[in-house]
Amino acid sequence: MSEKKLIFNNPFSLNVNLPKKTLEEVKKVAKQEFEDNTLNPLVNYLGERDKVFSGEVASEIRKYQSQIYTLGQVMREGKSVSTFNMKM
């Protein structure tokens, strides 16, 4: 019988060798979990709010503000200004 010599490369009994298949599965699961829980929601968030980041929302807001201002001007011009006379 041959004697195996114990080699301690890592302290505190961390000399555990995992099979390559197990390491590959762990990498695969970790990558999938990262994509599902971090990357995909971020991409979806940016995709849904693309108009905000591209400036389309800001231009729409300016357009509506202009319409509101124009409508207010038209309403002010058409409305007669009434005065209240306090003289008795």
Mean pLDDT by 10 residues, the chain (88 residues): 54 69 89 88 86 84 91 79 63
| Residue 25, CA atoms < 13 Å, CB-side half-sphere | 5
Cα pseudo-dihedral 6, 8, 14, 16, rounded to 10: -40
pTM: 0.41
Q: Each residue of 2-12: pLDDT tens digit?
A: 555 555 555 56
pLDDT of residue 55: 83
Q: In the 8-state DSSP scheme, what is residue 55? A: T
**Which residues, 6+ apart, have CB-to-CB distance to 8 below 8 Å?**
15
- What does the alpha-carbon distance between residue 14 and residue 7 come to, in Å, rounded to a whole number? 11
**What is the pLDDT of the chain when averaged over all its residues?**
78
CB atoms inside a 10 Å sphere around CB 57: 13
